[in-house]
Amino acid sequence: MKKIFLMVLCAASFLAGQAQVKLGVKSGFNLANISGDVSNNDMKLSFHVGGFANIPLVDRFSLQPEFVFSRQGAKFDDEGDDTKLRLNYLNVPVLGQYNDPSGFYAETGPQFGFLINAKVKEDGRVHGVSSAYKSLDISWAFGAGYRVTNEASIGLRWNLGLTDVSDYAGKIRNSVLQIGVAYTLGTF
């Protein structure tokens, strides 16, 4: 895993030296859920915030690595009891992006999520459950958006979990729909 991350970082560094890299920030809402061996779960509204670098490769195509704090998880309704699972990740998506001259863009690529912590809120009490969850979550991201101006854009992204995130609860995968805005700070 470390070798893959270092290869992507080296490739991005090489390409950054050859092109005008755009750096920016992003934020938005998550509609998060888990799927698999679970029942009585619903989407949980949460948020994400982070930064990105957009590195042009060839005409209309770019590479966009990001570092994003993302609050994920799910809500459960068990006979009237409201329980929430909160999974906090540092996500590192590495996306290939097609940029249409009209302002629309489409993106896809792998995302590596590093678990910061996991908590369950039940009956007003919060319990740490990080030991029950794996430290790495691999997913695939699919997204599209529109550049409103040269600096500002809006986007929609779906992160489809590819790996099981729990060590003990059977097969459980993350599924997150993200709606957000991004702002390019400048070109370097």
- pLDDT tens for 50-104 read 999 999 999 999 999 999 999 999 998 766 678 899 999 999 999 999 999 999 9
Residue 13 falls inside a structural domain: no
Is the per-residue pLDDT at 13 higher than 90?
no
Task: Output the pLDDT for position 16.
Answer: 47
Residues in contact with 183: Cβ distance below 8 Å, sequence separation at least 6, in sequence order: 24, 25, 26, 151, 152, 153
Residue 16 falls inside a structural domain: no
Residue 14 falls inside a structural domain: no
Q: Which CATH number do you get for residue 113?
A: 2.40.160.20
Structural domain count, the chain: 1
What is the pLDDT confidence band of residue 8, given thresholds at 50, 70 and 90?
low
Look-up: residue for tokens 């699919």? Answer: 142
Residue 88 falls inside a structural domain: yes
Domain span holding position 47: 22-187
Say if residues 73 and 87 touch (Cβ distance below 8 Å): yes
Give 90-139 pLDDT, tens digit per residue. Answer: 999 999 999 999 999 999 999 999 999 999 998 889 999 999 999 999 99
Residue 10 falls inside a structural domain: no
